[in-house]
Chains A and B, each alone.
Chain A
């Protein structure tokens, strides 16, 4: 059974870097049909797509966040990661990792992890 689990600090200071990892179990991270994505949700902005990465490392980012986002993948560990630099309070949100079918559809999501940006 597919499971995605987000992990990382729940509190990040302003101007620092938010780092999260998603661990995939129950399925191959190298499946040809799927990208692996990050989506966040906040009361202010609702659901906001952050980026996608393929198992070969090809990635696509939300243009509004592109200058601050880096995603990476480690197929041997069945993990992929998100780094978001220079965070502010506006980056406070629940961060979800999700399997993205065809680079389009979030067909399976992790439970989400709350990240708060505060000093």
Chain B
């Protein structure tokens, strides 16, 4: 089983600042990496897939990068609606075996 590890667990950022979140896979997942955003009381929302492709309707301030085992989600200028928990998910397996990271909570500094 591929294990996904996210860091930091909590990131304190001021509105307007840049946020950088990390995700590490226990073995290579190529570019088969997605990012989700979850707000309290809501389901996760797909932000990024293929490590760097924004999903439909996702603002350009969200960007993803990385390949293999190291990935980054960057939010260039945090808006109030961006304070949430962010999860990475790998999908490098067949048969399917979706696995998620433990999440990074982006909170107001």
A-side interface residues toward B, CB under 8 Å? 35, 37, 39, 46-49, 52, 60, 62-63, 96, 98, 100, 103-107, 109-112
Contacts and interface: CB of A to CB of B under 8 A. Distances in A.
A39 B34 CA distance: 15
B36 interface: yes
A105 B101 CA distance: 14
A106 B44 contact: yes
Nearest to B90: A104
B43 A48 contact: no
Contacts of A106: 36, 44, 46, 89, 98
Contacts of A39: 98
A6 B91 CA distance: 24
Interface of B: 1, 32, 34, 36, 42-46, 49, 55, 87, 89, 91, 94-103
A48 B101 CA distance: 10
A60 B95 contact: yes
A104 B90 CA distance: 8
A105 B49 contact: yes
Given A62-B97, A107-B46, A109-B43, 14 more contacts: A39-B98, A46-B87, A46-B103, A47-B87, A47-B100, A49-B98, A49-B99, A52-B96, A103-B94, A103-B96, A105-B34, A105-B46, A106-B36, A109-B45
A103 B49 CA distance: 13
Contact of B96 (A48, A60, A111, A112): A60
